[in-house]
Structure 1
């Protein structure tokens, strides 16, 4: 695919589709490529965390600091793969895996109570007290058969969240 300023070929589009499990249409990939090139200010072929922050929707997201760790230095294929988890075509497991990566802030394959609590703090801000957050999280863990001292692996996380009806989608505008 070369530099970000080059044109996408049909082969490139199909390669990205295959890399991303065919979750994006060819039109979506072309639109994402245009967005990627727009974000890649210096045409380096990857997007930095600072460039991601130039997207207002991203910079206003309460989890943006956690997401920045995941997106810093993405090339185009990885950019599309990252966004694929938010596709309407993504499976529930793919969406849960993305959420797990957000919670697993130290990338050790385990989500601890403190990790879950921190995401709840990020999402709720000052709208609920620390005590209320802890109560909600303790109740959720108890219902799932875990305690405050437990940690969740990806498989555990999938079991816990797999029963929820996740609505984690972003529509890719077709230019």
Structure 2
């Protein structure tokens, strides 16, 4: 009767539903997208340790239509990959798409946006992080002096404790006033 390939065990699907903002159907759609990037590497059946053992190279993930034009694609892959270099297993990829889904709450999106902008990983957005973020956002079209002025102004208006850098809480305070944050921090699957 049926030669249906089982992609995940029932337990895996339940676990993925519990730790993401996706339904079973969406999880299977994410797997299909993951497999299409590298069908020679990713098996149809992932009932063993394949979801964490099989990694797709960062270059393939960055080439997804949803990421290809994003100036932060490299950094997004680094933040969501367990290896920190952007190579992703299925669970990394599922986490990425879950955070960027419409169902993910604002505070989760803010947390990951902060991590993406925190290039040096020091848990603060300092002048270097802000300059790098601005350079990516503007395509490098601002001169060094203009960029420094913009970054200085951001810190001046957002740095509540006067330490010259933004904490997650200070960043969250700024982002909650940005009406276009939620619609732009989104990937449709």
Common fold, TM-score beyond 0.5?
Answer: yes
Q: 1:55 aligns with which of 53, 60, 64?
A: 64
Residue 114 of structure 1 deviates from its aligned partner by 0.9
* Counterpart selection for 1:29 from 27, 30, 35: 27
1:16 corresponding residue in structure 2: 16
Pick the aligned partner of 2:104 from 90, 106, 116.
90
- Cα deviation code 1:29-54 (max 9, x no counterpart): 11101111222442362222122133
Question: Root-mean-square deviation (CA), in Å?
Answer: 2.5
Residue 113 of structure 1 contacts residue 148 of structure 1 at CA under 8 Å; is this kept in 2?
A: no
- What are the residue-to-residue correspondences of 1:38-53 with 2, within 5 Å? 38-40=36-38, 41-43=40-42, 45-53=54-62
The ranges of structure 1 where at least 4 consecutive aligned residues each deviate by more than 6 angstroms after the TM superposition are none
Q: Deviations over 1:41-96 (max 9, x none)?
A: 42362222122133244233211222232232332222111222211111111111
The equivalent residue for 2:127 is 113
Q: CA deviation at 1:148?
A: 9.3
**Alignment partner of 1:77 is 2:91:** yes
The structure in which a higher percent of residues are strand is: 1
Contact 2:124–2:166 (CA<8 Å) still a contact in 1?
yes
Q: TM-score, normalised by structure 1?
A: 0.80
Normalised to the residue count of structure 2, the TM-score between the two structures is 0.75
CA distance in 2, matches of 1:64, 1:171: 15
CA distance in 2: counterparts of 1:142 and 1:153, whole angstroms: 13
User: What residue in structure 1 maps to residue 50 of structure 2?
Assistant: none
Where do 5+ consecutive residues of structure 2 fail to align? 43-52
The 2-side partners of 1:147 and 1:129 are apart by: 29
Bigger Cα Rg: 2
1:150 aligns with 2:164: yes
Contact 2:155 2:165 in 1 (8 A): no
Q: Report 1 or 2 for greater relative contact order, CA contacts < 8 Å, sequence distance ≥ 6.
A: 1
Aligned length: 166
